[in-house]
Amino acid sequence: MQNLISREISPTRQKLAILSLALGSFASVTTEFLPVGILPDISRTFSVSPGTAGLTMTVPGMMAALSAPGVMLFSGRTDRRRIILWLSLILLAGCLIATMAPTFAVMLLSRALVGISLGAFWAMGLSVAVELVAKDKAHKAAAAVFAGVTAAMILGVPMGSLVAEYSSWRGAFVAAAIIAIAALLMQWRMLPVVPAESHVRLTDFKAFVRLPEARKSIVMIAAVFAAHFAAYTYLAPLIHETGIPSAAVTLLLLAYGAIGFASNLVASRFLEKKSQGNAFCLKNIAGNTLSAPAAAADLSKI
């Protein structure tokens, strides 16, 4: 069975359009986590403590939590392609402002822009991806977008640390801006018009939160991410305090991403063998929590 959009564009363009969304997710997550490897440098530049510098990770997280449901509530019937392009522009603006930020306040403003783009892109990007292909291939389209996140964790964050090592932390944001430009241009060229199929209302979110499984998954994911970010954000300062040379940070971040990928792979295989039903439920609960009810509804077409 095919979506209307998938019938109107060639298979090659479908793949390139999905690739543009995967590149967008790679750019978003790379930029989100970029401060992890360069936090001590940011702290020294703006003469703030490492704890205060950690706000460069907190602010985008808070803004993403607001923008993800916000874009679904207020986007109405706006063409989804136009929204994706605007979100990529916002991401690019956040990167460019960071490269020139004269004060820590301006730096946090740039990070807020990154958070707005990040959360809204997740909510909208997955929804658009599954509309670009036949319904029996929707899971592959969603997986391709998620692959951008995996690539960012394995390659993007260590890349930022490596660039900063040979130039400066601002150079790392220049590199992120280049990736954001590539994603924006590819999306502008390859994404077709994607009309909104439905309008999400506040009552839809209320109905979602009333589900016991939804509440449990929200609490569980919030706890996991809180623990993760509390440690991961300050990884570079902790490494420096132990006397490990700065050059090792890139390798440690690379190893962290690779081990995380392997762990996810092993966990998914374990769940699939233990219970196909449980694995399906976990994937959908995670999708609901991260991408808001509207995006999850699209994924349920799989």
CA distances from 154 to 31, 53, 75, 229, 256 (A): 13, 23, 33, 16, 7
CB-based contact 284:299 (threshold 8 Å): yes
In this model, does residue 222 exceed pLDDT 90? Answer: no
Give the residue-averaged pLDDT of 54-64: 92
pLDDT given at position 301: 38
Question: CB-hemisphere CA count at 13 Å for 189?
Answer: 11
Helical pair 212-232 and 276-299, crossing angle rounded to 10 deg: 90
CA-nearest of 296, 77, 116 to 207 is 296
CA-nearest of 115, 292, 85 to 201 is 292
How many domains in the chain?
1
77 lies in which domain range? 4-299
CATH of the domain at 273: 1.20.1250.20
Residue-wise pLDDT for 225-277, tens only, equals 788 777 777 777 777 777 777 667 778 878 877 887 777 667 766 765 664 44
Give the residue-averaged pLDDT of 24-33: 93
CB-based contact 217:284 (threshold 8 Å): no
Which band of pLDDT confidence, cut at 50, 70 and 90, is reported for residue 296? very low
Query: Which DSSP string corresponds to the chain?
Result: ---HHHHHS-HHHHHHHHHHHHHHHHHHHHHHHTHHHHHHHHHHHHT--HHHHTHHHHHHHHHHHHHHHHHHHH-TT--HHHHHHHHHHHHHHHHHHHHH--SHHHHHHHHHHHHHHHHHHHHHHHHHHHHSS-GGGHHHHHHHHHHHHHHIIIIIHHHHHHHHHHS-HHHHHHHHHHHHHHHHHHHHHHPPP---S----HHHHHHHHHSHHHHHHHHHHHHHHHHHHHHHTTHHHHHHHTT--THHHHHHHHHHHHHHHHHHHHHHHHHHHH-HHHHHHHHHHHHHHHHHHHHHHHHTT-
pLDDT given at position 246: 67
Q: Pick the more confident residue, 49 or 242.
A: 49
Which band of pLDDT confidence, cut at 50, 70 and 90, is reported for residue 281? very low
Residue-wise pLDDT for 155-208, tens only, equals 887 888 888 888 899 999 999 999 999 999 999 999 998 887 766 777 877 888
CA-nearest of 7, 295, 26, 288 to 147 is 26
pLDDT given at position 73: 83
CA-nearest of 172, 183, 174 to 26 is 183
Note if the pTM is more than 0.75.
yes
* Interatomic CA distance for residues 194 and 256, integer angstroms: 37
Q: What is the dihedral of CA 119, 180, 112, 33, to 10 degrees?
A: 80
In this model, does residue 153 exceed pLDDT 90? Answer: no
pLDDT given at position 302: 39
Residue-wise pLDDT for 109-121, tens only, equals 999 999 999 999 9
Mean pLDDT (the chain, rounded): 82
Residue-wise pLDDT for 73-103, tens only, equals 888 778 889 999 999 999 999 999 999 999 9
pLDDT given at position 272: 59
